[in-house]
Structure 1
Amino acid sequence: MRLWLLGLILVSGVASAAQSLYSMLAGGDYRPPLSVMQQVEKDFQGVITEFEMEMQEGELVYKLELINPLANAITRFEYRARDGKLLKQKAAKVTADELSEVEATRLITAKHQTFSGLIAMATKDHNGFLTDAKLDHDLGISYLELKLLDDTGKYKLAFDVENLRQLPLLKWD
Structure 2
Amino acid sequence: MRLWLLGFMLVSGVATAAQSMYSMFAGGDYVPPLSVMQQIEKGFSGVIAEFHMEEQEGELVYQFELINPLANSITRFEYRARDGKLLKQKASKVSADDLGEVEATRMIAAKDQTFSGLIIKATKDHKAFLTEAKLDHDLGISYLELKLLDDTGKFKLAFDVENLRPLPLLKWD
Corresponding residue of 1:28: 28
Partners of 1:58 and 1:172 lie apart in 2 by 30
1:169 CA drift (Å): 4.6
* TM-score when normalising by structure 2: 0.96
* TM-score when normalising by structure 1: 0.96
Equivalenced residues, count = 173
Segments of structure 2 that go 5 or more residues without pairing to the other structure are: none
Q: Deviations over 1:119-168 (max 9, x none)?
A: 01111111000000000000100000001100000011111000001111
Corresponding residue of 2:65: 65
1:91 CA drift (Å): 1.0
> After TM superposition, which residue ranges in structure 1, 4 or more long, deviate above 4 angstroms?
none
SS in structure 1 of the partner of residue 29 of structure 2: coil
Contact 2:156 2:172 in 1 (8 A): no
Query: Which residues in structure 2 correspond to 1:62-141 (within 5 Å)?
Result: 62-141=62-141
Contact 1:74 1:92 in 2 (8 A): yes
Contact 1:158 1:169 in 2 (8 A): no
SS in structure 2 of the partner of residue 122 of structure 1: helix
Corresponding residue of 2:9: 9
Question: Identity rate of aligned residues, in percent?
Answer: 83
1:73 CA drift (Å): 0.6
Contact 2:133 2:146 in 1 (8 A): yes
SS in structure 2 of the partner of residue 45 of structure 1: coil
